[in-house]
């Protein structure tokens, strides 16, 4: 009888393992907690298309915007950790908003299994068409001449473009005037129209305007120059240290994803973004391929969360 029970237990374990590795056996929902058309949505749809091809099952993007990403993230937290509900979101959801808002409905550290960061992109400091500034030194000089009065647009309080400006002001001993908008598109529109002077925007969001000469690129926030803006220096090259910032998107699942499913999903997602044809589409837009492991992403999320928590507290940044 003991041998029979042991055999049945072994058979059950083998069946469970086989069921996990057979994933996905039905369509998978990929939640994007922002409206369609933005950088995160673009990355999610490209990734979903690739996962559909590689795993031979449909991956459907479902936009669930609201509350700065909290509505979609809370829905993912409540979903079964079976691999059939995933999320692609920006760094705001994982490492910024939790330090700005209470009662989010999710805990970024405890409620998700971190799978991979497909891509990242530096921000770029751009000047409105009418501005004469062409260097970081020019911008700093203007900020010192008009403390607290030079307007910098952002896509909202606590967004990466806002925090890039706050970090820049902190590291240069200056202060500008933060002008938050409800999204990147209206901020860029007013920048193009000259209603505001400067902004730290995602490279991919403003690259067409830079190439058309409608915005002046002054410096990028990455650790190295952007391949799509090779003549634009980094902030470090321009003498501003400690202001490195990347905007990034991350693929996660509800906490408790079976190890076999996590391994299969991570392998497919990393292979997808590293595929030469797929990578070229992203890099042509100014993004950089990351494709890290679940362990690396988890460790990175912890470090990033602490970093932005410190800046938010030091600069007394609020969500209002």
Average pLDDT value for residue range 176-201: 94
Q: Six-digit token pair at 204?
A: 């991919």
Residues 251-282: pLDDT tens digits?
A: 999 999 999 999 999 999 999 999 999 999 99
- CA angle in degrees (0–180, nearest 5) for 121-314-311: 15
Radius of gyration of the chain, Cα coordinates, nearest whole angstrom: 22
CA–CA separation, 37 vs 248, rounded Å?
16
Q: Is residue 1 over pLDDT 90?
A: no
* Residue that has been written with the tokens 């309080």 in this structure: 157
**Residue 8: how many CB atoms within 10 A of its CB?**
10
Q: Is residue 14 over pLDDT 60?
A: no
CA of residue 133 relative to chain centroid, distance: 29
CATH superfamily ID and name for 2-120+248-314: Bordetella uptake gene, domain 1 (3.40.190.150)
Residues 280-299: pLDDT tens digits?
A: 999 999 999 999 999 999 99
pLDDT value of position 51: 98
Q: Is residue 182 over pLDDT 90?
A: no
CA–CA separation, 194 vs 179, rounded Å?
13
What dotted CATH number matches 121-220? 3.40.190.10
For 220-256, letters b (16+ CB in 10 Å) and e give bbbeebbebbeebbbbbebebeebbbbbbbbbbbbee
Closest-CA residue to 126 (of 218, 204, 236): 218
Alpha helices in 135-255 (DSSP H): 136-145, 160-172, 184-192, 203-211
Q: Six-digit token pair at 31?
A: 């939640």
**Domain boundaries for CATH 3.40.190.150 within the chain:** 2-120+248-314
Mean pLDDT taken over the chain: 92
Question: Using an 8 Å Cβ cutoff, are 89 and 33 in contact?
Answer: yes
Q: Six-digit token pair at 302?
A: 């912890």
Closest-CA residue to 59 (of 29, 86, 81, 20): 29
Residues 129-179: pLDDT tens digits?
A: 999 999 999 999 999 999 999 999 998 888 889 999 999 999 999 999 999
Of the listed ranges 21-25, 147-151, 166-170, 198-202, the least confidently predicted one is: 21-25
Provide the percentage of residues in the chain whose pLDDT is more than 70.
Answer: 93
């Amino acid at each position: 009888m003991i041998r029979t029970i042991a055999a049945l237990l072994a058979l059950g374990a083998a069946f469970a393992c086989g069921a996990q590795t057979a994933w996905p056996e039905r369509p998978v929902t990929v939640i994007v907690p922002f409206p369609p058309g933005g950088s995160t949505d673009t990355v999610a749809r490209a990734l979903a298309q690739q996962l559909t091809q590689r795993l031979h099952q449909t991956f459907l993007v479902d936009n669930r915007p609201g509350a700065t990403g909290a509505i979609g993230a809370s829905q993912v937290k409540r979903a079964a950790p079976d691999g059939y509900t995933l999320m692609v979101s920006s760094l705001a959801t994982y490492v910024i908003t939790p330090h700005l808002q209470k009662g989010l409905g999710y805990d970024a550290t405890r409620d998700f299994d971190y799978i991979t960061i497909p891509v990242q992109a530096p921000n770029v400091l751009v000047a409105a068409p009418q501005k004469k500034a062409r260097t970081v030194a020019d911008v700093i000089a203007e900020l010192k001449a008009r403390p607290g009065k030079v307007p910098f647009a952002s896509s909202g309080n606590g967004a990466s473009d806002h925090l890039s400006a706050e970090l820049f002001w902190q590291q240069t001993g200056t202060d500008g005037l933060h002008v938050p908008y409800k999204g990147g598109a209206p901020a860029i529109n007013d920048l193009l129209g000259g209603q505001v002077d400067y902004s730290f925007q995602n490279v991919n969001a403003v690259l067409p305007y830079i190439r058309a000469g409608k915005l002046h690129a002054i410096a990028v926030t990455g650790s190295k120059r952007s391949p799509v803006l090779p003549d634009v220096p980094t902030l470090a090259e321009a003498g501003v240290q400690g202001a490195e910032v990347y905007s990034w998107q991350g693929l996660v699942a509800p906490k408790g994803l079976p190890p076999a499913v996590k391994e299969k999903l991570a392998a497919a997602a990393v292979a997808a973004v590293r595929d030469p044809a797929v990578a070229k589409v992203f890099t042509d837009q100014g993004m950089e391929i990351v494709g890290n492991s679940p362990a690396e992403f988890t460790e990175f999320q912890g470090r990033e969360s602490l970093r932005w928590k410190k800046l938010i507290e030091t600069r007394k940044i609020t969500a209002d």
